[in-house]
Structure 1
Amino acid sequence: MRFRDVALGLVGFFGCACGGKSALEVESGAGGAGNGSSSASSSSSGGGGVGPGAPYSLMLSGKLATYPLAIAPDGSAWVFGGTYTEPTPGYPEWESAWVSKIDPHGTIVFTGTLDGEDIVVEPIAIKTDAEGNVLLTAYAKRTPGSQADLDILGNKFGTYDEAPFIVRLDPSGNILWVSITDSQKTPSDPPAHRFTDIGADGEGNVYVAGSISSPFVSDEIDSEVTVRAPGGGTYLDGYTMPAMKTVFWKLEVEPNGDFWLARSSYYQKARVQRFKQGGQLQSEVTESVCWVDVFAFAPDGKEGFFMARAEDPAEHCYSSLRHHSLDGKSDWFIEGTEFYAVHTTLTRSSPGRAWLGLGLEGTININGSTLTGKDYGDIVVAEIDEHGTFLQSATYGGPGDDYVEQIALDDEGRRYMAGYFTSQIDFGQGELVNSSGQPRAIFVTRLDP
């Protein structure tokens, strides 16, 4: 096992979004009258209610992590994103990361930053475990020649020139532990890691997916899933798979410790593997791909899985959606000769079902069940079952291109979404208006069943 790691223990308390280095400045009111000057400000509509909370919508500014949304058992939503610059239009560059907790009524009750002087932090993924603890993985890079420390929620940690790291928070936002991994400096050092997704089993063990590579060779060496102890991030086990020029990753961990790893390259192949607890490979599906812009995956809760790809029509490649059984057979498959799909995401719902979110132009027809979108700049969401039946759907959007980055569900089936909108958007709790001062604003919304 080629691994170098430093684990760091309990540190101080940060329980609210007040004072200090706040990443989010909260303003309330339908339509969202944010100040437009903060690099990560927020406005909201909806909220209130009793019991488990109520539907809400929030506007944030900044940029979302690859997997930016996680729902705690109490219905709180955790959002992971960051600030950025755009020296070349259309090519954003990360500056720092922020994490925020939204209570079930739509109020931001905690926020904190991950940054450092002369350090760039890229947020990657966030998950919650069964006890409501929060797992973050991100990537930190120092300015050449700097010896700066990494600042995580106001606490200083020694770091490396380039360092993937993991943070575990309790439900209130207290740091439980931080684990920082070194980068490779000489050919004799352990190869470098880059973490790509994170998860937890029912006992709180932490699973981290990532790539292993070396600046001293021309290509990715391996893909890997490591398992860390819940108490302090101690390395427990690791499972290494051959490299496949992976660009898109998705890790799904079952409560019993079984886990799924879905990967895709841009233009060679996509592979979905299911492992039993302990790393025994249970099933594997490998498919050729054309030119993938977006790759989405979700287990169906019944041993099978859904998979979607948004591919590039300029390369004579088509978007696709399919369902596989455990034996690897494709139960149904639809390819986009009659539709064009972008910004595709999948999330498991009840057994045999998943929520699909995408920008859709045209009609998807699966055995007579149809889903239609008028403009791929709108957001289309639909619940689909293992037979390819669209059970319910909705469309959201305003002027400009809007899209959903991730859909998440709580235990009661309430649906949460995070993504981007250009001008204004309405999820039924009042219109959100982009007052961020940036071309796109972030939305976070909760929609009851």
Structure 2
Amino acid sequence: MISSLIKRTFFFLAVLFNTFGYAQEISKDSVFLSLDDVWSKAEIFSKELKVQHLKAEIGKENILDAKNKRLPSLDFDASYGKLSNIPVFVNGINNSAEFIPLEDHSVYDASVSAYFNIYAGGASKTAIKTTEATKEFLEHIEEETSDQLHLEVIQYYVSLQRSYQYENLVKQNIKQNTERVRLIEQLFKNGVVLKSDFLRAKLQLAKLQTQLVTIKNDLVIVTQALNILVGNEDDTLLIPSDTIQTKDIAIDKNYETFVSEMLSESPLEKMAEKQIELSELKTVALKADKLPKIGFFGSYTYSYPQIKLYPYEQAPYLLGVAGIKLSYDISALYYDKHKEKAAEIAVEQQKLAKENVDDNLRKQVKTAYSRFKEDVIKIEVAEENIQSAQENYRIVKQTYFNQLSLLTDLIDADTQQLEAHFELINNQIAAKVHYYQLLKISGKL
């Protein structure tokens, strides 16, 4: 009962301390952001996500283009020219030629032709299936990009939380050390302690002040990165509105369930499956090229002069023709032989690549799952360590100023207390990152 009460009191004070620390940073230009807010804004302003979205849109247009190719093809040609006099070498090329007189030197024609494919070995259907599979592949890339963006946002967001937490802790420790230096200086002036104690206390204070500078720079860097993701000005002050506590996250599934979800939901898994499908469709397309092609054709031509049919006439004429056309590329039998073999090997390659993706994803699930469980235990231990470190510092501080312990003991106790708080923060952040990594890998982020 007493232990439970102490823990609840500790959490209440921790939350109160965090809120107070953030309040010190608030200005009229501050922007409060929850993790969901950052996710929503990052999806709007992410240039990488926009690029992938446009690629997916191109994929949709390619499908419509492939379907349009099933329509009849129509061609129109027209020409106009002038004929020269026609020399005829009656007595050989070494002698003068006689010229055939032409009443009209003009020549012109206009024609319309059409072709409608009846059968081409299934090439059109295969082309449509290929563009559809490509579009789906691009959509999976977009989904993976979105999930990766979410995970990147999480990492920056918790880094921002950590920097604020570190800053607050170090500021409080500097205040505590400043008061300690003042007390030790008085003891030194009264001849109670050595000058070395006074100098060592000042050195410890200087280290903390230097550490605070580093933390502030880290805060500036992560703030800029997060501002870029959400479309703000680089220097906009961001205040995380979510707590750093891990009470809102928990794993209620076993490892096998996460692996099962990963195999069915992960965008990387879907991308690997589509790669196999695209390789198989390439093999089908190559086989289709070896099959005969059948189609209706027709043309209608208006020409002048009439020189296609005898007797010739210096007059315009119309000629129409329609029928069915059969074509067969015999050379494809030996030209595409090695292409087909390479395509079949590519299918096996993609199947092995998918197995490799499965293996890597399973390892990632195992790692994130195990680390999260580990982080939960570390958080409980860190909470107890903070209580022990605080009590130890209180005792050593009292004994030092009663001349019963050394300053090094007091500094060590102070450092241990600060490091215990840092360790708790790091474990809480690690738990959040591993939790969201697990969701991302299993396609649930």
Q: TM-score, normalised by structure 2?
A: 0.18
Q: TM-score, normalised by structure 1?
A: 0.17
Greater C-alpha radius of gyration? 2
More strand by share: 1
Q: Say which structure, 1 or 2, has more relative contact order (CA 8 Å, 6+ apart).
A: 2
